[in-house]
Amino acid sequence: MTMWVFGYGSLLWNPGFEVEETQIGVLQGYARSFCMRSIHHRGTPEHPGLVLALDEQKGASCEGVALRVKAGTEAETLAYLRERELISSAYLEKNLTVHLYTGDKIEAVTYVIDPDHAQYGHLDLEEQAQVIAHAVGDRGPNTEYLHNTAAHLVELGIEDADLNWLSKRVEGLCS
């Protein structure tokens, strides 16, 4: 059985599993948002960082990349993704329909924010920039996460005005 994973943040530049094919696509009903406080990968419990999550919102959509998992590695890929993405249970694992730019629709394993989780919350863009500029977790600085994601979206031709603004603002705060 073919397994797809929808990437919208760090999976764009660091999937961590073997990918046979990538396709740009759109997930309806969700927005990419720095709405998850990171207490492991990009921050600590004392000084949380921010990471992207898919926030369910009526009328929203998120452009990202559908990653087709190498055949025969589905079970190990899913185990890896669960260990990586479900570290604090702030994400929910869902199989959601992604509309590929080719016109096809696929089902993809997708990690979305649990709006009832303690790590969920919204900050305005300036507050996000202040947090991201200073947070560091066990996978490195929050700035690296932001800049890598923003740069890869640009390379893919995916416009995300908030991430572009944040990347420029955080660069200014750190210089």
Active site residues: 85
Judged on CB neighbours under 10 Å (0-12, 13-18, 19+), 71 is exposed
Distance CA 88, CA 99 (A): 29
Do residues 60 and 35 touch, judged by C-beta distance below 8 A?
no
